[in-house]
Structure 1
Amino acid sequence: MLINADFSRPAIVSPRHYQWVASPQGGVERVMLDRVGAEKARATSIVRYAPGSHFPLHRHPGGEEILVLSGTFSEDGMHYPAGWYLRNPPGSSHRPSSPEGAVVFVKLQQMRPHERRAVRIDTRAASSWHGEAGREACPLFSDEAEQTSLRRLAPGEAVFTAPIDGAELLVLAGHVVADGARYERGSWMRLPAGPCPGIAAGTHGTTLYLKVGRPAGLLAEA
């Protein structure tokens, strides 16, 4: 299956274009934002857990990245409400579930093989945020090829101030404006390497999940 699989072109999905598709596990639906492969795929998705839904124990050979958007996501007896960021390295396994229901942003098979450390960050905590180049940032992960963070931008502030080596963003609060179009909370964009994209925070500012760098895991197994 190929969805937004040409990484040399921009890809944008706004909430009004969400297409919820049932997963193989009952009570779990997903919006496929990009996908290269079948059920075991390199994939970026919005995943919705109905109350009481769960997956059996399974492994992630290419790792899994999760940002909890609403509700509470549970994993092996630990509970993560909205705002938690989880990064499970290649080769890890878990039993995900949600007794009360949840919506999560998920990236599969997009980590480099050398990653070994599990990450858990409560992005709601004031201690997780600091000033970075004059902006508020909540760092999530960084290595030689990728920098992932949450960013708070003031009204009208540009998201990018220089050419990029590829980028991906998810609007978490407020909206952004790109090429005269307005993209509300829940909008997802993936941008190829190139000149500085003209994207700015909306009239009340915005909070973004932002990943900058070269995409990983493009050769995931189908």
Structure 2
Amino acid sequence: MQINADLHQRVVIDSHSVAWQPSPLPGVERRPLERMAAESGRATSIVRYAAGSSFKAHEHPLGEEIFVLQGTFADEHGVYPAGTWLKNPPGSRHAPSSPDGCLLFVKLCHMTDADTNSECIDTLQGQWLPGQVEGLSVLPLDSVGSTHTSLVRWAPGTHFAPHRHMGGEEILVLEGVFQDELGVYPAGTWIRSPHGSAHKPFSETGCLIYVKVGHL
């Protein structure tokens, strides 16, 4: 089953309004945001692990990206509390679990074979850099070719100039309220804007967003 599979279309979803769907293993549920096939191919989801649940060992042919939103995620390589960002490159393998339960933002099968680095970043301890305008702070997470991933913090009242995204843009609002001339997006909103799209973003109240650009 395909969900929001046309990457030329702008998509805005309140992830809290998406019904939980079971995964192949008990205790692991998903809120699908985009999916190219039923259980394979490119997918973006909010994933919930019940306490004590686990997934059997599996490989990610085109990689996996995880941001731990709540709780504690784990696999044989480590234990990852809320605020951890993980990148498992194409061909990587693991057996994930969650002893106490967790909530994750997960992207699958969106990398190329040239993306070979594993990453594990504790964003709560990361080094924030000044953004392009006053009131913006940026925590870079990853940069491969034209694809760049970061967390961006907007101070209240911050406005950014109109701009266009060559290669598209994907946003998950983590805290606060993000805005542009097209709408108002509270925490939990997922936005996918296609190649060549343009907007004039701002935040009156302040917000924290996950941003990936150049991958669409």
State TM-score, norm by structure 1.
Answer: 0.90
Match of 2:150 in 1: 149
State the AA in 1 paired with 2:146. Answer: A
Q: Please give the residue correspondences for 1:161-176 in structure 2 after superposition, counting only pairs within 5 Å.
A: 161-165=162-166, 166-176=168-178
**Alpha-carbon distance between aligned partners in 2 of 1:51 and 1:94, rounded to the nearest angstrom:** 19
The answer to whether the Cα contact below 8 Å between 1:62 and 1:90 also exists between their aligned partners in 2 is yes
- Secondary structure at 2:176 match in 1: strand
**Alpha-carbon distance between aligned partners in 2 of 1:34 and 1:160, rounded to the nearest angstrom:** 29
1:179 to partner: Cα distance: 4.1
For the pair 1:200 / 2:202, whether they are aligned, the reply is yes
The answer to whether the Cα contact below 8 Å between 2:48 and 2:104 also exists between their aligned partners in 1 is yes
1:65 to partner: Cα distance: 0.3
Match of 1:17 in 2: 17
The 1:199/1:132 distance shift into structure 2, 3 A limit, reads closer
1:195 to partner: Cα distance: 4.3
- Secondary structure at 2:141 match in 1: strand
Q: Please give the residue correspondences for 1:114-133 in structure 2 after superposition, counting only pairs within 5 Å.
A: 114-125=114-125, 127-133=126-132
**Alpha-carbon distance between aligned partners in 1 of 2:197 and 2:14, rounded to the nearest angstrom:** 23
The answer to whether the Cα contact below 8 Å between 2:162 and 2:201 also exists between their aligned partners in 1 is no
Match of 1:69 in 2: 69
1:95 to partner: Cα distance: 0.7
1:187 to partner: Cα distance: 0.6
1:160 to partner: Cα distance: 6.4
The answer to whether the Cα contact below 8 Å between 1:65 and 1:108 also exists between their aligned partners in 2 is yes
1:118 to partner: Cα distance: 0.3
1:117 to partner: Cα distance: 1.0
The answer to whether the Cα contact below 8 Å between 1:153 and 1:159 also exists between their aligned partners in 2 is no
Q: Percent identity?
A: 43
- Secondary structure at 2:47 match in 1: strand
**Alpha-carbon distance between aligned partners in 1 of 2:16 and 2:98, rounded to the nearest angstrom:** 25
Query: Structure 2: 5+ residue runs without aligned partners?
Result: none
CA RMSD of superposed structures (Å): 1.6
**Alpha-carbon distance between aligned partners in 1 of 2:159 and 2:32, rounded to the nearest angstrom:** 27
State TM-score, norm by structure 2.
Answer: 0.93
Greater RCO structure (CA 8 Å; 6+ sep)? 1
For the pair 1:59 / 2:56, whether they are aligned, the reply is no
Aligned residues: 213
Match of 1:47 in 2: 47
1:16 to partner: Cα distance: 4.3
- Secondary structure at 1:24 match in 2: coil
The answer to whether the Cα contact below 8 Å between 2:15 and 2:46 also exists between their aligned partners in 1 is no
Match of 1:218 in 2: none
The 1:64/1:184 distance shift into structure 2, 3 A limit, reads same
**Alpha-carbon distance between aligned partners in 1 of 2:84 and 2:26, rounded to the nearest angstrom:** 24
